[in-house]
Structure 1
């Protein structure tokens, strides 16, 4: 209550409507696995390791193209990159990636390393080197350094920022200047200071600008323009290509400049034995080498990455595309996650019916589903002019995470992500007929099938739980959604006075939220009373609870289950009957 001290009219703002509970998002996925480039989970600040990707272009800009990985020289299909492609093609729109790699900790070990080129050796203060920002073979590319000399006008001289490099005169009579707060200072003669920029106009002044371009081993190019040599320049090359900028803006290149390297030394080192080009340009190229993907990641490294990714609040589904070693780590992650996540599991490639049944019997969790078999797509690099496209077998998790997101947006999280078309599939690794599905569906293995006239479809929606209560994927995911939404939407109640008014407020807000769910068809029952109940009163709390500062609210819901079996009973009857 405000303190009124003087007579007058006072207007206060108040709220007459209760704070509503809003549903949390369920369309954000997390993929874990090795990639060609990008930040490695655990190698930097946790918040920098998992950028939010909203398109395939975002993924390829940070984590590289779907070129093959090389683990100690042996080629391996880049399942993570292919899964990201299919995820977005199937309807996904929000993706986090946790890159897994065994990063080299010391020279000579067999971990993944970043490509580099040393331009000037020596002690750290006087050295200059170019590095790929992240470990991986994709960093073995080429850096092109280009210097451009642009004729300067009076306006350009006046507006040039501090640290700009100016060259005057022709061949044999040229002089170089750097702009400071006092004017233009000679590079070779610091005592030669020109305060009046107009005096330089008669000496054919040209402003020097530095451009750096990096083309990685996969052919992706990134360029930085209008960089400066001097530390006072707002776009000093050493700052723009620094390590913290690389992780903040996902630059693929680092420039490591020693403390004693001044502007003249930096220019001399970067350009090296550059040859003069056309239209006042000077260009030099530096190849980067030594980048390696290291060995294949272990189960422990997948588990470590998943633990770090536990800080991401909005993730709903997780997968490790094509990673057999990560299956138990995924199950442990979703079973122990307070963020209520659901795992989409891939069987190893090539399993027959008996083998996938044996795999399923080794798993028991309500927070995961297993899909079989692998999916065939048209190989992205195939040229349509070469005849029928080649096919590529991919693990189903990337497709299914996209279908989960698509179903959540179009229908809601309560709708089973089944009887949905796999848009990008051209076939499956193994044909599943009704007899095979009779066996697999009963054991909780979700099949991917082709139907005449209906295409390639997801034909199963069961979890890996032995508890019949959690048999269906939409039931488990919908309950997770309700719990997370209620938890987030009632944070305002913490430290409020623990009395009847607080309990009534909680009952009203939770009840309104569940009523909206029932109206959308997400809960069973013909009336709200049949669909849910909310209790928060003396019947749910003892005096000991109140003394301990606890509010106990009992919420019950009747989740709607999928119509997995349609039974039509048809018989003969006479008109009289």
Structure 2
């Protein structure tokens, strides 16, 4: 910036920033999932969100080692996350609400978590069990490294013992702190004392773990545990049915549950597929399901209590109960739920996908995860202004109900988006409406709601430099220029309707909006109006007969 004082004669070079600061569009396709997982490890925590960017990373956090990531009780979250990535989804945050369904009978002493480390031939070599008194301290890291035989005592003559490759080291740590370390270990149950120590015998006095040897036969080299870093996690105690609904809701300050995942600012779409799994298992009733759904919708809207001070840029995808199979049944369920919002979307019916835990046989799952993946794919290939409909959901092999045209005439006006099976065209998403009240036509479409949210959030983050600048005409003109450039870019991409930029948007920031009394209060008002494109939901061709000969005579 320019200096205000010049003391000595000379030539002064000054850099002056005269260009506008462009507004960069925010990400619109970051998902949030809440549900059951097979395991919780690798730094992930129960009820707390964890960032995942691909299916392999999901397995590292929420699946047992060498597992497919699904659960024995058919939790819906793994299917939803897999469908999300398959359909083009990118980043997502996952909150695990447990690794098994809540039960009325809670164990007095939880089952110990056993870490099995294999040797050659993928056969069990050592078993580590966390001591009960250490369960509250957090997970342990077990590191297996190469070692060798003990060297001969100083001054001893003779050949040192050969290194046969059977020797190893066990290091036990928590976080960055190394707790215990055992060296010169072997799987030989009767080693020479001056050469090495049997691994189980060496760790018998460990304060943190119990170590056992499950191997029955084989040489010490064949039974040697494989090198690597392993995690011994704390036993995960299932929630009780009477507390389960509260645990799903979570606590905002603790960053847990549904309230906690809303603290992740970048999330733009949310779903809780295992609400229906818990309902099916009679862990929660339908009213409790509706309470969690209403909570997610209200938090997307941004309540007056200030839970979400930022402009609303999130939507929640809801799933109807599986028992609401037929169109009239889903209508009756929606009437009972009776919650309308432009920040919610509902897809029907449930979809049929392959179940790896049942030999690939079909299983019906909620459609929310696959739909969010399609949202992400559409944002990437076309833009947030394109309605995420007339798209093929990947990985779907069937539907719980085949909706026809007349049945969709009942569902579509109510904001229920149908997934339909068309002859020779396959399964397609055939709806793009929000659950807004039917009379609020300006917010009827998902693409319009998400486009406006995208514009709001992008302008909010892209104009932070305005805060504390002098509130004068120069600042007003700069704000108008920056916001107009951003909106004109959207118009050129096809997001705004109009033959010219002037027809598609306007930006106003002048003395009429900012009189002296508001400037004294330190406020700057900017008014922005946009004309978003809307999907061609109803395509009507008006066809009539035309007599070309008579028409020519008339001329």
Question: Normalization by structure 2: what TM-score?
Answer: 0.74
2: CA distance, partners of 1:96 / 1:510: 31
Of residues 313, 338, 341 in structure 2, which corresponds to 1:365?
341
Are residues 286 and 358 of structure 1, via their aligned partners in 2, closer, same or farther at CA, if it must alter by over 3 Å?
closer
Give the equivalent residue in structure 2 for 1:150: 148
How far did residue 147 of structure 1 move?
7.4
2: CA distance, partners of 1:471 / 1:481: 16
Of residues 280, 283, 293 in structure 1, which corresponds to 2:238?
293
Report if the CA contact (8 A) 2:41-2:60 is conserved: no
Of residues 403, 406, 410 in structure 2, which corresponds to 1:435?
406
1:100 lines up with 2:97 in the alignment: yes
2: CA distance, partners of 1:498 / 1:85: 50
Give the equivalent residue in structure 1 for 2:33: 31
How far did residue 373 of structure 1 move?
0.2
Give the equivalent residue in structure 2 for 1:486: 459
1:50 lines up with 2:16 in the alignment: no
Give the equivalent residue in structure 2 for 1:217: none
1:307 lines up with 2:278 in the alignment: no
Give the equivalent residue in structure 1 for 2:78: 81
2: CA distance, partners of 1:313 / 1:562: 28
Structural RMSD (CA): 4.2
How far did residue 350 of structure 1 move?
2.5
How far did residue 43 of structure 1 move?
6.3
Worse-superposed segment, 536-545 or 526-535: 536-545
How far did residue 443 of structure 1 move?
1.1
SS in 2 for 1:150: coil
Report if the CA contact (8 A) 1:101-1:294 is conserved: yes
Worse-superposed segment, 291-300 or 486-495: 291-300
1:91-150 per-residue CA deviation (whole Å, 9 max, x = no partner) reads: 10111112224999xxx956996744797979x7xxx7799849xxxxxxxx99967543
1:439-493 per-residue CA deviation (whole Å, 9 max, x = no partner) reads: 0001110000011111110000111001222111111110000000000000000
Are residues 302 and 200 of structure 1, via their aligned partners in 2, closer, same or farther at CA, if it must alter by over 3 Å?
farther
SS in 2 for 1:76: coil
Are residues 280 and 201 of structure 1, via their aligned partners in 2, closer, same or farther at CA, if it must alter by over 3 Å?
farther
1:556 lines up with 2:507 in the alignment: no
SS in 1 for 2:33: strand
Trace 1:512-551 onto structure 2 (pairs within 5 A): 512-551=485-524
SS in 2 for 1:448: strand
Give the equivalent residue in structure 1 for 2:361: 390
Are residues 26 and 426 of structure 1, via their aligned partners in 2, closer, same or farther at CA, if it must alter by over 3 Å?
same
SS in 2 for 1:487: helix
Report if the CA contact (8 A) 1:360-1:444 is conserved: no
Of residues 313, 323, 330 in structure 2, which corresponds to 1:356?
330
Give the equivalent residue in structure 1 for 2:296: 330
Give the equivalent residue in structure 2 for 1:470: 443
Trace 1:157-306 onto structure 2 (pairs within 5 A): 167-169=150-152, 203-204=160-161, 228=171, 236=178, 265-266=205-206, 277-279=219-221, 291-295=236-240, 298-304=244-250, 305-306=257-258
Are residues 29 and 119 of structure 1, via their aligned partners in 2, closer, same or farther at CA, if it must alter by over 3 Å?
closer
Report if the CA contact (8 A) 1:111-1:295 is conserved: no
Give the equivalent residue in structure 1 for 2:22: 20
Report if the CA contact (8 A) 1:364-1:465 is conserved: yes
2: CA distance, partners of 1:268 / 1:67: 28
Are residues 41 and 559 of structure 1, via their aligned partners in 2, closer, same or farther at CA, if it must alter by over 3 Å?
farther
1: CA distance, partners of 2:433 / 2:394: 21
User: Aligned residue pairs: how many?
Assistant: 471
5+ residue gaps in structure 1?
70-74, 135-142, 152-166, 170-174, 176-193, 212-225, 240-261, 384-388
1:178-214 per-residue CA deviation (whole Å, 9 max, x = no partner) reads: xxxxxxxxxxxxxxxx7xxx99996448699997xxx
Report if the CA contact (8 A) 1:114-1:132 is conserved: no
SS in 2 for 1:356: helix
2: CA distance, partners of 1:5 / 1:274: 85
Question: Normalization by structure 1: what TM-score?
Answer: 0.71
2: CA distance, partners of 1:367 / 1:268: 49
1:451 lines up with 2:422 in the alignment: yes
5+ residue gaps in structure 2?
115-127, 182-201, 251-256, 277-288, 303-307
Are residues 28 and 201 of structure 1, via their aligned partners in 2, closer, same or farther at CA, if it must alter by over 3 Å?
farther
Give the equivalent residue in structure 1 for 2:382: 411
Give the equivalent residue in structure 2 for 1:259: none
2: CA distance, partners of 1:299 / 1:23: 37
Give the equivalent residue in structure 2 for 1:59: 58
